[in-house]
Amino acid sequence: MHRRDFLALGASVALLPSTGFAQRRIHQATGLKVGEVGPESAIVWMRLTKEAERKADGIVRHGGPAPFPPELRMTQLEGSTPGLAGMVRLRYATNDRLRGAVETDWVEITADTDFAHQFRLSGLKPATRYYYVAETSDGGQHAPLRGVFRTPPEPNDVAEVTFAMMTCQKYSELDHAEGFHIYESMRRLTPDLYITAGDIVYYDSDDPRATSIELARYHWQRMYSLPRHRRLLLEVPGYWLKDDHDTLFNDAWPGRDPVEMLPLTWNDGLRIFREQVPMGEKTYRTFRWGRALQIWLVEGRDFRSPNNSPDGPNKSIWGAEQKRWLQASLLASDADWKLLINPTPIVGPDRVKKGDNHANEAFRYEGDEFRAWVQKHLGDRFFNLNGDRHWQYHSVHPESKVQEFSAGPASDSHAAGSPGEDKRYHRFHRVKGGFLTVTVRRDGRQSSIWFRHHDVHGRVVYEYTQSAAV
């Protein structure tokens, strides 16, 4: 997507019909999220707010987790964006002036969904840029938010694609008042899509600790009302994965509701995640971007065995059904390059004391099993891209040769915890924040993939390229 198209859309607003209504009361301070884009479909998330901007002069609680003081109200906190009931609709077209736009029905939204709604669009055209306006009403129509996204090509079409991937954006580790540096850095690169690999918010270790549905929603509102985050997501569609901190608590697994999080429960966390991001029916899924690239997004929390249970063939992070789907769909794919986006590492190496991923002893059986399966069936056109680790790296497993890229945390101040560089594994190792970009290009009978680690300001600090005859 090119920024000139986004600017053209902004200029075209003056050409939209005037509503004729007085000063607006409804706003969209938490922005929009376009997700799950396919050749013919997309999901657009929007939310209504009382104010046009997040509360900038509120009480700041950025330290470690603490109980929420009973004398405080949520609306007193910095970054709060209280919702407001009203009506919403979406208008979208393939031209920046919205001539012949498709209009959804007006939809009423209430507090039941945190004043948010997800429009599921169908009948779109592949490899097409769509311009949209998200309109609101409280009996009168109001100024919309405007954005743009591009649908992927058909699976057999040849097309270049670049996507950006990030993870671990802890609010208390913000590196700029308007949002993380990486959001502006990613936006300047104009990627086709954006993927966040989990730990989007930290319910358990950011202050205030999320001990209620209201407090959990506040974590999302505070994060996505930041100006830089809003700007990126109006220009770039996304895919969202969850991990432990944005499900409920550190190293979470089903059936465990720690007392310090109550009355917020595991099931509340699952529901809130789906409420706050545009998603399909399952939290694990795969999507294609033309002939050259297919990406798998897996669920690492909902089906996992307890971390502390004995290791063996019945212990799993992914669960039997998801693992069968993952292996079957990987085998069925004829894409040039196959990328697994996994919230946690498969190769590592990781810290000895950790026990929540396939690079650890705690899940070694499933890790060894999957790495051997990849080596046998997929070869060197498969890569794992993971979140969760607070350092950047490119690793190659010594036995299976499975390659892994870790995006690193969203800010330098959140970088820590590496077990150190290990020459048996590491091709690159950096304990700093940043993000990862991947570019895939096909030229005749040659297909190539580029992995680039960026620092928080977008500078490339490491690059790896691989090509194959196709």
φ, ψ at 52 (rounded to 5°): -75, -25
Record the tokens describing residue 236, joined without a space.
Answer: 């770039």
| Model pLDDT, residue 69 | 79
Query: Residue 322 corresponds to which tokens in the numbers above?
Result: 């998801």
Question: What per-residue confidence (pLDDT) applies to 139?
Answer: 58
Q: How does the average pLDDT of the chain come out, rounded? A: 92
**pLDDT value at 298 more than 50:** yes
Determine the Cα–Cα distance for residues 110 and 38; give it in Å rounded to an integer: 29
Give the C-alpha separation, 447 to 336, whole Å: 7
Evaluate the CA torsion angle 231, 233, 236, 241 in order and state its sign: positive
Q: How confident is the model over 131-152, as a mean pLDDT?
A: 86
Let me know: does 116 contact 46? Beta carbons within 8 Å: yes
Residue 7 has pLDDT above 60, yes or no: no
| Banded pLDDT at 12 (limits 50, 70, 90) | very low
In this structure, the chain runs to a length of: 470
- Rounded Cα gap, residues 28 and 47, in angstroms: 6
Percentage with pLDDT > 90 across the chain: 86
What CATH number has the domain bearing residue 26? 2.60.40.380
Q: How far apart are CA 287 and CA 295, in angstroms?
A: 6
Q: 329 in a domain, yes or no?
A: yes
Residue 276 lies in a domain: yes
Q: Do 464 and 419 reside in the same domain of the chain?
A: yes
Cα–Cα distance measured from residue 188 to residue 435, given in angstroms and rounded to the nearest whole number: 13
Residue 245 lies in a domain: yes
Residue pair 237/128 in contact by the 8 Å Cβ criterion: no
Same domain membership, residue 296 and residue 170: yes
Instruction: Quote the CA–CA distance of 230 and 225 in Å, as a whole number.
Output: 6
Range of the domain at 127: 3-48+83-150
Query: Residue 215, class by beta-carbon neighbours within 10 Å (0-12 exposed, 13-18 middle, 19+ buried)?
Result: middle
- Domain end (from 118, 150, 182): 150
- Please state, as a whole number, how many other Cβ atoms lie within 10 Å of the Cβ of residue 13: 14
Both 363 and 460 in one domain: the answer is yes
Q: Identify whether 390 is part of a domain.
A: yes
Which tokens sit at 57?
């002069």
Name residue, tokens 């019909």: 17
Confidence at 150, pLDDT banded by 50, 70, 90: very high
Question: Are residues 415 and 352 located together in one domain of the fold?
Answer: yes
Lowest mean pLDDT among 44-58, 84-98, 138-152, 283-297: 138-152
pLDDT at 11 over 60: no
Within-domain flag for 375:
yes
My answer on whether 166 and 112 are in the same domain is no
Helix (H, G, I), strand (E, B) or coil at 231: helix
Q: How confident is the model at residue 141 (pLDDT cuts 50, 70, 90)?
A: low
150, 180, 204 — which closes off a domain?
Answer: 150
Alpha carbons 350 and 359: distance in angstroms, whole number: 6
Look at residue 261 and tell me whether its pLDDT is greater than 80.
Answer: yes
**Are residue 423 and residue 387 in the same domain, yes or no?**
yes
**pLDDT tens digits, residue range 116-128?**
999 999 999 999 9
Judgement on whether residues 256 and 377 belong to the same structural domain of the protein: yes
Percent of the chain having pLDDT more than 70?
A: 93
**Distance from C-alpha of 350 to C-alpha of 60, rounded to nearest angstrom:** 34
Distance of CA 301 to the CA centre of its chain: 15
Q: Which residue has the tokens 């999302």?
A: 220
Using one digit for the tens of pLDDT, what is the confidence trace for 425-441?
999 999 999 999 999 99
Residue 456, pLDDT score: 98
Secondary structure of residue 194 in the 3-state scheme: strand
**DSSP track, 72-97:** --GGGBTT---B--EEEEEEEESSTT
* 346 domain-assigned: yes
Bridge partners, residue 89, by sequence: 135
Q: What is the mean pLDDT of residues 131-151?
A: 85
CA pair distance 429, 420, nearest whole angstrom: 8
pLDDT given for residue 74 in this prediction = 85
Residue bearing tokens 């077209």? 93
Number of domains in the chain: 2
Confidence of residue 253 (pLDDT cuts 50, 70, 90): very high
The answer to whether residue 19 is domain-embedded is yes
- Same-domain status, 334 and 246: yes
Amino acid at 429: H
Is 238 a domain residue?
A: yes
Asked if residue 368 and residue 251 are part of one domain, the reply reads: yes
Per-residue model confidence (pLDDT) at position 314: 96
Same domain, yes or no: 274 and 144: no
Mean pLDDT of 353-374: 96
Query: Among residues 150, 177, 193, which one ends one of the domains?
Result: 150
Domain check: are 138 and 167 in the same one?
Answer: no
Residue type, 31: G
- Please state, in angstroms and rounded to a whole number, the distance separating the CA atoms of residues 227 and 183: 10
Query: Phi, psi (5° rounding) for residue 78?
Result: -60, 135
Report residue 402 as tokens.
């499975």
pLDDT in tens, 33-83: 999 999 999 999 999 999 999 999 988 866 677 777 777 888 899 999 999
> What is the reported pLDDT for 142?
65
pLDDT band at 22 (very low <50, low <70, confident <90, very high): very low
CA angle, corner 280, sides to 235 and 104, nearest 5? 65
**What CATH number should be reported for the domain holding residue 324?**
3.60.21.70
Does one domain contain both 230 and 120?
A: no
Token pair, residue 252, equals 């979470």
pLDDT at 319: 98
pLDDT at 140: 60
pLDDT at 73: 87
Q: Are 391 and 415 within 8 A, CB to CB?
A: yes
Place of tokens 């657009």: 44
